[in-house]
Amino acid sequence: MLPTPVGPVSVLARDGVVVAAGFCADPKEQFDRLPAALRELPLVEGDLGDAAQAVRDYLDGELDALDRVPVTQPGTPTRQRLYTALRSVPAGTTVSYGTLAEMAGLPRTAARAAGSACAQNLIAPFVPCHRVLPTTGGFGGYYYGVPVKEWLLAHERRG
Q: Are 138 and 150 in contact (CB under 8 A)?
A: no
Nearest CA among 159, 145, 156 for reference residue 6: 145
In sequence order, which residues have a C-beta less than 8 Å from that of residue 6 and are 6 or more positions away? 23, 147, 148, 151, 152
What is the rounded CA–CA span in Å between residue 63 and residue 116? 25
Known catalytic residue at 24: no
Catalytic, out of 18, 48, 124, 129: 129
The residues assigned a catalytic role are: 129
